[in-house]
Structure 1
């Protein structure tokens, strides 16, 4: 099953996208920040990550830097 990670500080947006993904038989994970799912990013192989560029106290550039340092790869 394909896995999707939705990172957005807008709860409503996360819900809408995760519901749509589940209807298409995707396993959906959500979080308001990427730091909250850092361990999931490391252990799960996501097929797709959808992320808001600017979150409350961080940007997705920080996530991309983390993924590069950890040599993250998609499924």
Structure 2
């Protein structure tokens, strides 16, 4: 698994988790949903988000190694 794909999975999971917590626990969890959405929005312009830094430090590869058959 690579950073780009894992990043989208984590963002989707955090969004669904915060929506469930807002529904079952407290509407204040919607602030976390907004935080995730804001990070996704700014990463569209900058191609960087804080989770990418954590994933890089955890050793997740950035992209697959190019394997070309001749």
Higher relative contact order (CA 8 A, sep 6+): 2
The structure richer in strand per residue is 1
Select the structure of larger CA radius of gyration.
Answer: 2
Q: Which has the higher helix share?
A: 2
Does TM, scored on the shorter chain, surpass 0.5? no
TM-score by length of structure 2 reads 0.32
